């Protein structure tokens, strides 16, 4: 368990405990990795939190997702990605997605923009009788690394 994350771990521990789930070392490692590295693929998670079996990682991520601790993202790369849930971090955010290397980076937008968007989305949904719960925004482009690589 990473000391910098004691608050985070405390939160997760409570959440899991209330649901009768254990907050094992393996699960802590996954949460640590996600909190330090941002949205990760499974191979990345296995690397960062080494000593964990692939099947266990998948199973634990599924459990953590059901508990509202992590969220599964899906983009175009070969692997899915996982991140800590907004419910847990308290930070509403969106994603910069590199269409060259598939990396995903968090970004936050100004509150007034979020408000404007929420209003616009609500209005847009009325015509189709949709009830809006949330929005996901991918800002797609080229990351700094891939821009350099393209130069060379």
Partner DNA sequence: ATCATAATGAGAATGATTCTTACTCTTGAC
Partner DNA sequence: GTCAAGAGTAAGAATCATTCTCATTATGAT
Q: Which stretch binds a copy of itself (CB under 8 A): 11-19, 23-31, 56-64, 120-128?
A: 120-128
* DSSP H or E segment with residue 105: strand 104-107
Q: What's the gap between Cα 127 and its chain centre?
A: 31
Binding to a copy of itself by residue 19, rule CB under 8 A? no
What is the size of the binding site for DNA (CB under 7 A)? 23
Binding to a copy of itself by residue 143, rule CB under 8 A? yes
- Report d(CA 69, CA 12) in Å as an integer: 7
Q: Within 13 Å of residue 63, how many CA atoms lie on the same side as its CB?
A: 21
Binding to a copy of itself by residue 101, rule CB under 8 A? no
* Of positions 7, 18, 51, 74, contacts a copy of itself by CB under 8 A: 74
Backbone angles phi, psi at 114, to 5 degrees: -60, -40
- Partner from a copy of itself, DNA, none contacting 26, C-beta within 5 to 8 A by type: DNA
Footprint (CB under 7 A) of DNA, residues 101-130: none
DSSP string covering 61-84 = HHHHHHTTSEEEE--SSSS-EEEE
Binding to DNA by residue 55, rule CB under 7 A? yes
Count the neighbouring beta carbons within 10 Å of the beta carbon of residue 121: 13
- Three-state SS sequence of 40-59: EEHHHHHHHCCCCCHHHHHH
* Of positions 9, 12, 15, 27, contacts DNA by CB under 7 A: 27
Residues that bind a copy of itself (CB under 8 A): 72, 74-76, 94, 96, 98-99, 105, 107-110, 113, 116-117, 120-121, 124-125, 127-144, 147
The binding site for DNA (CB under 7 A) comprises: 20-22, 24-27, 41-42, 51-56, 58-60, 62-63, 78-80
């Amino acid at each position: 368990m990473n000391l910098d994350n004691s608050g985070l771990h405390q939160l997760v521990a409570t959440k899991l405990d209330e649901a009768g789930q254990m907050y094992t070392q393996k699960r802590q490692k996954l949460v640590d990795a996600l909190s330090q590295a941002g949205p990760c693929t499974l191979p990345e998670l296995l690397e960062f939190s080494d000593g964990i079996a692939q099947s266990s990682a998948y199973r634990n991520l599924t459990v953590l997702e059901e508990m509202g601790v992590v969220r599964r993202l899906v983009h175009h790369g070969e692997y899915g990605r996982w991140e800590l849930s907004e419910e847990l971090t308290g930070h509403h955010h969106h994603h910069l997605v590199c269409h060259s290397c598939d990396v995903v980076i968090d970004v936050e937008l100004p509150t007034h923009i979020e408000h404007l968007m929420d209003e616009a989305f609500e209005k847009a949904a009325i015509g189709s009788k949709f009830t809006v719960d949330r929005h996901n925004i991918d800002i797609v482009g080229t990351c700094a690394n891939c821009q350099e690589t393209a130069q060379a």
